[in-house]
Structure 1
Amino acid sequence: MRPPFRFPEDLITLQGAWQQTYAELAQAPAGAGTTALRRRLIALSGNLCTHPYWAAPTAWRAGGVELRRAARTHTSAPADGEAAA
């Protein structure tokens, strides 16, 4: 079994923003003026790919799926001070 990945908080937040933007773009109706969302997704993709965490040659292949899972659970977890539903 592999040891758990430990991602920096800013990387998890960045991945969460990417996932949220992607979901908003997927839900937008055709012709709804999605240019801003597409540009944001491109910028977030660049920031994700060039994050210092991925400096190791195999880091993305080894941790990409785990990062997406971490971002998903991070955004669905209650914030500090909030009760779980």
Structure 2
Amino acid sequence: MTDTNTPPDRLSLDPRSPHYDEALISRGVGVRFKGEERTNVVEYCLSESWIKVAAGKSLDRKGNPLTLKLKGPVEVWFEDVDNQGE
């Protein structure tokens, strides 16, 4: 990642995922999916145009939340960058 103001191509909130990065998550990442800002995103991928969201309160047999993969246009940004200009 060369630009510190550009979010990575893929990021996950799950600490077991190889795409988890606590430092980036702590900055606050905003996600817009199909033109609507989403706050329930568990993981996203810009290059493949998808997000994963929790499927209600359902859990798998290991106790992890079930997720749904939704495909469509994805936009992401760091929320702390937006607040610096104010």
Provide TM-score, normalisation by structure 1.
Answer: 0.25
Q: Which has the larger radius of gyration?
A: 1
Provide TM-score, normalisation by structure 2.
Answer: 0.25
Larger relative helix fraction? 1
Kindly indicate whether structure 1 or structure 2 has the higher relative contact order, using CA contacts under 8 Å at least 6 residues apart.
1
Larger relative strand fraction? 2
